[in-house]
Amino acid sequence: MATGMALPAAATERPLTAAETDPVTLGWMQGFPPPPERVIGQPDSDYFSFPKLRWTVCHFRELLPTRRVSRGLEAPRPLPYALDKGIDSVTFSPLGGGEPMSWEASLAANYTDGILVLHEGKVVYERYAGCLDEAGVHGAMSVTKSLTGLLAEILVAEGALDETARVASILPELADSAFSNASVQQVMEMTAGLAFSEDYADPDAEIWSYNAAASPLPKSEGYEGPRSYYEYLATVQPAGIHGEVFGYRTVNSDALGWIISRTTGRSVADLLSERLWQPMGAEQDAYYTVDSIGTPFAGGGLSAGLRDLARLGQLVLDGGQLNGERLFPQAAVQRIRQGGSRDAFARAGYATLPGGSYRGMWWVLHNDHGALAARGVHGQTIYIDPTARMVIVRFASHPVAGNAANDPTSLPAYQALAEYLMARE
Amino acid sequence: MATGMALPAAATERPLTAAETDPVTLGWMQGFPPPPERVIGQPDSDYFSFPKLRWTVCHFRELLPTRRVSRGLEAPRPLPYALDKGIDSVTFSPLGGGEPMSWEASLAANYTDGILVLHEGKVVYERYAGCLDEAGVHGAMSVTKSLTGLLAEILVAEGALDETARVASILPELADSAFSNASVQQVMEMTAGLAFSEDYADPDAEIWSYNAAASPLPKSEGYEGPRSYYEYLATVQPAGIHGEVFGYRTVNSDALGWIISRTTGRSVADLLSERLWQPMGAEQDAYYTVDSIGTPFAGGGLSAGLRDLARLGQLVLDGGQLNGERLFPQAAVQRIRQGGSRDAFARAGYATLPGGSYRGMWWVLHNDHGALAARGVHGQTIYIDPTARMVIVRFASHPVAGNAANDPTSLPAYQALAEYLMARE
């Protein structure tokens, strides 16, 4: 048992590796009780610091109230398998130079906890590491936004939601906020002009007051701020002009979640279950973290099984069809694949996604293969390559909160794998 | 929509009825956001007061951190159905006199949220009400104890746990507590001599300090007491002589959960999944509430689906066999059915269970049919009648915290139904 071992000393030259921070090896929460220095508990506000976060990403529900996304009661739909042992040896050149790297080596480099590749609808690759196994769930972080966006695009395609409507016409509670005269589409493309910083390095950034409002735990004595996602959204102030610049701000996703719920009478958790999780034959329930009034965190609160995210990715690739049955209008995916304003996106300066755009809360690469992706802050992704008929889903717990840290050893790996799979045919 | 309606005025002559307190009709947590007077949230410590508890029993995970009991990834094992419409008309005489009552009328009288009857392994009756439906889960409360006890009896029957061992020989941490020289069997039969009152009407009762220790939420400023189930158990003081009197104290179940985990290296949540939930083909994950270090509440924290509790009850009735496969030694159930000390039980004075006993954390009625039961504080039960080959599982949210309030209109109903089903044959 490794429960009593000391943490590896922090290296000054490099971050601790995936192997050095393996949550099983480090012994977090092992033993009855775990040794005090290996407890990750709720009063410990430090549970999302690295390397603890490598345990926490699989255990949010043990720390926070959550709301279920039911898979229903039916048997799961099996995923067909056609594993390809050659994939580990696929090599690629990392962005920005560096030695060629194998697919297999990229997994540890990116602190991968689970990765599954579908080609032509069949599982060709599947690996688990860290805190995750096939029967577990993992925090999807901002991949959640893309599911919120997909639900909204489905409602738009079905005519239930008018993307040209002003937000305040749907949510009068936001009439005095920056969202008021933004269109639903601007919220969905994150071009609403909002004074909201997600710079975690800035103690005055709005993300901190947002987190405080969102916490379902009792507020600290004397707390006078907003007490839910909805209350917070009503306080967001304007900055800039709607529609001009892409600004990646989580509040857009939570405003969209609210728009969805007001429109459908369903929480996003229930709507995700009814529209996608149950019909696609998910094998595990998923869940959302919630605020003090039970609102699911539509901007980042989802935890799900890897295979179920793969089922979702395949459904998007197939334009809403599953085994010949149509689950939602093809237009919902077509709209996302067209992309959003590339000009607005270019002004935001994402170095690893040149020429890209953002639409329906998906990242559209506008590359030769027409790839699109859902992306989470520690390296989570649903990466869909329509040309290669490939879906990659990955859970990860990278020490750096930002995809610029893992894109150099993941985006070119995905492209190389797509080319490998296409060349097999 | 009823979200804005006033609560019915409290009747002075009678408690509010099931219909008057239906959580859907009352509109708890409906709307985006729900109206403030209809919010049941975590900072609201009142969430388990009646009638709010009629919503809360289906939603513990939305208020508290929880740990999953995985059903695994396979297809659920279907329950065979042979519904009998005659059951609603079965009549019985409530204990203590009163007019004859129909089975159907007893459901509302007992604030039943879900009830399912198996006869000869087939579902003959199934109803849902209040907050529950077939795809939901409900708090099992002290029914949880019987699952903890069953796991322990399985370990005893398999030779992994010595019931004659003193607790401190397994858990040295309890050497200075009242548990120290109690035997495992005395813990399992709740005859350990413990100074622990569960009288919720007494503000000095130990149950309050136990609840404070068990809460996963941040402690109040200046709190100096124990911070987990395990820390609390080490503080329990002796009272009386081990083995003499049955004393229904939840701390026994949590001590037993700790014994199980120390013995097997598994949390009770994982062991329940591995030994029972997965092999029996559960159709839903269950979950436990947890304390600040992630320990599942073995004394009352389980929420589960009604049909899954029925699968478990049938497995107990069948002595551990399922479709010809043996999941655990028959001796585990035989030991429970033999019962515990009837003398020790008689000294505790349970008026509605004369001649009964308690063994392996199950209530043994020692009636003509050899019935045994798991029982939760608001009317939850797994009631097993081996003579009638009948299993009844019930979730309920009775306003009175104690089975003496619902036994008069449930125990004779169960007996009448057993006789009805036997007479059909």
Contact A33 B218 (CB under 8 A): no
Q: Please tell me the predicted confidence (pLDDT) of residue A42.
A: 72
Contact A217 B219 (CB under 8 A): no
Question: Which one is catalytic: B70, B102, B142, B267?
Answer: B142
Contact B217 A218 (CB under 8 A): yes
Q: Please tell me the predicted confidence (pLDDT) of residue B40.
A: 95
Q: Please tell me the predicted confidence (pLDDT) of residue B10.
A: 47
pLDDT-derived band at B211 (thresholds 50, 70, 90) equals very high
Q: Which of B65, B75, B217 sits opposite A62 (nearest CB)?
A: B65
Whether the ω angle into residue B172 lies within 30 degrees of 0, i.e. cis, is: no
pLDDT tens-digit profile of A136-148? 999 999 999 999 9
Per the document, the length of chain B is 425
Q: Are strands B286-289 and B357-359 parallel, antiparallel or unpaired?
A: unpaired
Residues of B in contact with A270 (CB under 8 A): none
Summarize the confidence of residues A71-99 as an average pLDDT. Answer: 96
Contact B65 A64 (CB under 8 A): yes
Residue B55 forms part of a structural domain: no
Q: Which amino acid is at B337?
A: R
Question: CB of A28 within 8 Å of any CB in chain B?
Answer: no
pLDDT-derived band at A425 (thresholds 50, 70, 90) equals low
Least confident stretch, A162-166, A213-217, B328-332 = A213-217
Residue B400 forms part of a structural domain: no
Q: What mean pLDDT value characterizes chain A?
A: 94
- Is the separation of the CB atoms in B108 and B1 below 8 Å? no
Contact A32 B262 (CB under 8 A): yes
Question: CB of B41 within 8 Å of any CB in chain A?
Answer: yes
Q: Could you tell me which chain B residue has the CA closest to the CA of A228?
A: B33
pLDDT tens-digit profile of A191-210? 999 999 988 788 899 999 99
Residue B123 forms part of a structural domain: no
Question: Partners of A122 in the beta sheet?
Answer: A119
Least confident stretch, A3-17, B41-55, B96-110, B115-129 = A3-17
Give the CATH number, domain containing residue B349.
3.40.710.10
Residue B208 forms part of a structural domain: yes
Contact B68 A76 (CB under 8 A): no
Summarize the confidence of residues B122-134 as an average pLDDT. Answer: 98
pLDDT-derived band at B12 (thresholds 50, 70, 90) equals low
Count of other CB atoms within 10 angstroms of residue B167: 27
Q: Which of A63, A68, A217 sits opposite B61 (nearest CB)?
A: A68
Residues of B in contact with A72 (CB under 8 A): 135
pLDDT tens-digit profile of A383-409? 999 999 999 999 999 999 889 899 999
pLDDT tens-digit profile of A213-224? 999 988 888 999
Q: Is B209 a catalytic residue?
A: no
pLDDT-derived band at A91 (thresholds 50, 70, 90) equals very high
Residue B24 forms part of a structural domain: no
Q: Catalytic residues of A, which ones?
A: 142
Q: How many domains does chain B have?
A: 1
Summarize the confidence of residues A163-187 as an average pLDDT. Answer: 98
Residue B54 forms part of a structural domain: no
**Residue with structure tokens 């921070």?**
A21
Structure tokens at B276: 């029972």
CA-based nearest residue to A350, from A422, A407, A397: A407
Residue B57 forms part of a structural domain: no
Contact B218 A41 (CB under 8 A): no
User: Whole-angstrom Cα distance, residue B380 to residue B398?
Assistant: 9
Q: Please tell me the predicted confidence (pLDDT) of residue A13.
A: 64
pLDDT at B262 over 90: yes
Question: CB of A64 within 8 Å of any CB in chain B?
Answer: yes
Which carries the bigger pLDDT value, residue A36 or residue B7?
A36
Least confident stretch, A300-304, B4-8, B146-150, B155-159 = B4-8
Summarize the confidence of residues B401-410 as an average pLDDT. Answer: 92
Question: CB of B422 within 8 Å of any CB in chain A?
Answer: no
User: Whole-angstrom Cα distance, residue B335 to residue B118?
Assistant: 23
Summarize the confidence of residues A171-176 as an average pLDDT. Answer: 98
Contact A294 B29 (CB under 8 A): yes
- Is the separation of the CB atoms in A273 and A281 below 8 Å? no
Q: Please tell me the predicted confidence (pLDDT) of residue A43.
A: 67
pLDDT-derived band at B218 (thresholds 50, 70, 90) equals confident
Residues of A in contact with B135 (CB under 8 A): 70, 72-73
- Chain A residues 362-391 with a CB less than 8 Å from chain B: none
Domain that holds residue B248: 141-366
Q: What mean pLDDT value characterizes chain B?
A: 94
Residue B112 forms part of a structural domain: no
User: Whole-angstrom Cα distance, residue A219 to residue A209?
Assistant: 12
| A-to-B residue pairs, Cβ atoms closer than 8 angstroms | 113
